[in-house]
Structure 1
Amino acid sequence: MSNFKRFSSRAVGIFSFLASTSLVFANPAQAVSIDLGSWTRVGDVDVNGNQVNLSTASSTFQDDFPQPAGRFNYSGNNPVAAGGAIETSVGLNPGALDNDLFNAVFEGSAITTNLNARKGDRLRFDWNFLTNDTFDDYAFFVANGVITKLADISNANNPSSLFNLETGTRTFNYTFANAGNYQVGIGVVDIGDVNSTSALQISNAQTEPVPEPLTILGTGVAAGFGVILRRKRSKKQTIS
């Protein structure tokens, strides 16, 4: 009997410890594809399947902008002017996209939407920045007023069949730090002049929800110890 009591005491102690600790495992979250074509378009934006193309090419300055079939077939909309229009469209104050006083944004294009997110949710998309410019044009991502530069001309080191240079396809990941509604935007801007073109390709956008916690509840632990205790008790009675 004393052995059984000692075992019972130990079992209760172990159970109490396990029940007091939260043993949590991550339930793998399923990524959800995003239809970028449903986002609000600002400026020179074209949707080609699951890829969105944005350009700084205005109708006045398109001589250097190639139009190969199916790759960059724009609808003819002009980029919007900076100093208010492009910034406001993505939730920024006028001038927020300027590099500095002497490197101001002249024009640009963007797509934008609002996303409801939980803390830890992730937004992911592939992008490629292309340019013919020598000024510091760049592509950007913005979420609730916080700007992240994806790339500028210094990052475009690969020869391109469409432009002079490109970054090549890369993947951007953004984790939402807090739960709430976010205005997000992705765009490309022309710095310093409007004589040469830069562009941004975006594809394979998706959201990945934060993993749902699966907790080992005390009831499950209790059930396991209950089986052990019953077997011990049955064995004791059989011996008696």
Structure 2
Amino acid sequence: MITEVPVPLLSVRGIGKRFGAVEALVDVDLDVHAHEVVALVGDNAAGKSTLAKIVAGVLTPDTGLIEIDGAPVQVPSPSAAHDLGIATVFQDLAVCDNLDVTANLFLGRELRTGRVLDDGRMEQIARRVLRDLSSQIASVRTPLSQLSAGQRQSVAIARTLIGNPRIVVLDEPTASLSVAQTAEVLVHIERLRELGLGVILISHNMNDVRAVGDRIEVLRHGRNNGSFHGPSTGSEEIIAAITGARMVAPPSASHRHAMPTMR
């Protein structure tokens, strides 16, 4: 009996990107399915952020193909990525300390009734989104200046849900966070998966990657260098692929398109 393989939410094929003489990405492949967290790991300058920026529409690839639901698409700008259901949280978060949680969630996308801001509806949606993420922020009217670093990251992740995305890219979301704050953010990532989204998690932290990653994809010198099952792969094997102690052939097409692990 042949089992039909689901079409990935996002598929990138043969992506290449140069900056002058530097090859940042060379023939990179990546798939992301619904209900799946794909951890993208690699050493500094491995190409992780470059790939994230291409998916987010910040950079345009020199070669390769991007598909959404199996259909080729162009992602020439962040607004185009947003229209395709792709949301990204970069390390700088781009939040405003002088605004409260609700204002940050709707920054640039405020809801209005006529010309008047619909504060009530925005507050209602903000509370629902934070509840969906299991956020511990007590009030949607709290200024960000009064929140912890982990709670600020929560707001940045929650903001992605305002546009009803299907794919969320998180660039080092637990960097510089305490153990407790990191645990809270990892809960948010698991909630994104439970909500049916496809998540790309970029991280240097092997504990975080193995805690929430269904699949771990390694980049080395801008090339694919291994695809691993997150829950069952030891850190040593992943680190070997990252450092080049073990050169891993790119996964076969059948492996790349295998049914993702559900949790």
| Richer in helix (by share) | 2
Q: Which has the larger radius of gyration?
A: 1
TM-score, with length taken from structure 1: 0.24
- In terms of fraction of residues, the more strand-rich structure is 1
- Normalising by structure 2, we get a TM-score of 0.23
